[in-house]
Structure 1
Amino acid sequence: MVNPQIAVDRTNLVIILGMMQVSKKIPFDDPNVLNGVRALYVVSNLIIVGIYLYTKMQIDKKRDMTVLKYVEPAPMGSTEEPKAVTTTVHAYDTSQLRGLFKSQLMGVGMMAVMHLYFKYTNPLLIQSIIPTKGCFEGNLVKVHVLGYPASGDLKRPWKSSAGGMMGMMGGQGGNEIKTDKKSIEAAERAGRGGAKEE
């Protein structure tokens, strides 16, 4: 069976390659066309922000205080031990959403530098499509906006998606979130973490 994350990465790669071919035919030197593509980029980001704000409203409305325990892997290349985390579904979803906002903001910042400082115009078109598509494929949006049940692949805690090259090379290896009782107890005994996140 194909890993859903690999399928998403392949689809994104096909879209990027297709859009690169399309963007070669677009006359970006025409100010009207360039402003149209800029407007498309701005609108796509406003749609994403709107969806994330609606997701936040849904998270706060549900305010699910179910306790969630898991073992967070140590950062790659770190000598630290895995950390036991005890939190609630509400706090977990809120922190995941915060990460999505931060990631979106970084993407907009990088695009601004590439477009305004280095004068690259082609990525505007690709970055109007891929992040919007990714927004709808995200676990939070699937659960809180699209109404998917939080079971199977959507059961919390979610596997961190190793996107880009890492995802295509097979993910993070042994650097996964663990939810089994044995791993949680071992991490709690090791003494790293275990504090409840609010």
Structure 2
Amino acid sequence: MNAATSNLAVSLLVMQIARKIPFDDPEVLLYARIGYVSAQLIVLAAYFVCSSKIKQKNDLTVLKYGKCPTVFPNLTSQDSGNLITTTIKDYDLGEVSKGVRGIYTGLAMMAFLHLYLKYTQPLFIQAIMALKNLYDSKPIKIHILGEPAEGELKRPFKATGLFGAVGNPGTDKAAIDEAEKRIGAKKED
């Protein structure tokens, strides 16, 4: 089961559990708030440790790949061509940065939902989901859990959709050559 499908299943299960928790009790609400903040701090600390391990390894191996095609390529991309050349260190730091931005976005949403709209169930749900997403994070699996960067964890990471749809970055020689040709053709114009 891919991460998106398991996120859906876990969130539905956690929502059912959250319905049974009496959030009207101020003590339960306090524990839910403490749990939420603790989960977010754990996730941020794990990403910080992962980032420092990536910098410590300093893997400067060159990584070339073609961008995944997007639904609206002209609206989402201003760069010339689809070839991306980076290092493993920079790629992994970029992935960690995406994870941290996701945490900050979740904090902003939760501040709106809980502090302004007074919803309490999302505190519990998002605390569990943050920890689950941390476990599913590919840089965390590689750099903290020590799994080898093979198969599903091979860079560049494949983007999976809800029901197994995969956005596969072009890493084979033909895809890289095609992207380089497009860049060369655009430079000549």
Q: How many residues align?
A: 180
SS at match of 1:191: helix
For 1:44 and 1:15, the matched residues in 2 are separated by 16
Deviations 1:94-132 (Å, cap 9, x if unpaired)? 111111111111011111111111111111111011121
Correspondence 1:149 to 2:148: yes
Moved beyond 6 Å, runs of 4+: none
RMSD of aligned Cα (Å): 1.8
Is residue 12 of structure 1 aligned with residue 7 of structure 2? yes
From 23, 44, 49, the equivalent of 1:54 is 49
- In the superposition, relative to structure 1, how do residues 35 and 101 fare at CA in structure 2: closer, same or farther (>3 Å)? same
Q: Which runs of 5+ in 1 are unaligned?
A: 193-198
Instruction: Name the residue aligned to 1:108.
Output: 107
Quote the Cα distance in structure 2 between the aligned partners of 1:19 and 1:181. Answer: 44
Q: 1:10 to 1:183 in 2, by over 3 A?
A: closer
Task: For 1:70 and 1:176, locate their aligned partners in 2 and report how far apart those are by CA, in whole Å.
Answer: 10
- Contact in 2 for aligned 1:70/1:178 (Cα 8 Å): yes
Query: What SS does structure 1 have at the residue aligned with 2:73?
Result: coil
Structure 2 segments unaligned to the other structure (5+ residues): 185-189
Matched to 1:56, the amino acid is S
Give the match for residue 184 of structure 1. 176
Cα distance in structure 2, aligned partners of 1:20 and 1:107: 17
Matched position secondary structure for 2:14: helix
Q: Equivalent pairs: percent with the same residue?
A: 38
Q: Which residue of 2 aligns with 1:41?
A: 36
1:69 aligns with 2:68: no
Counterpart position of 1:195: none
Determine if contact 1:69/1:84 at 8 Å carries over to the other structure. yes
How far has the Cα of 1:153 moved from its partner?
1.3
**Normalised TM-score (structure 2):** 0.88
Alpha-carbon contact 2:50-2:143 (below 8 Å) kept: yes
Amino acid in the other structure paired with 1:176? N
Q: How many Å apart are 1:18 and its aligned residue? A: 2.4
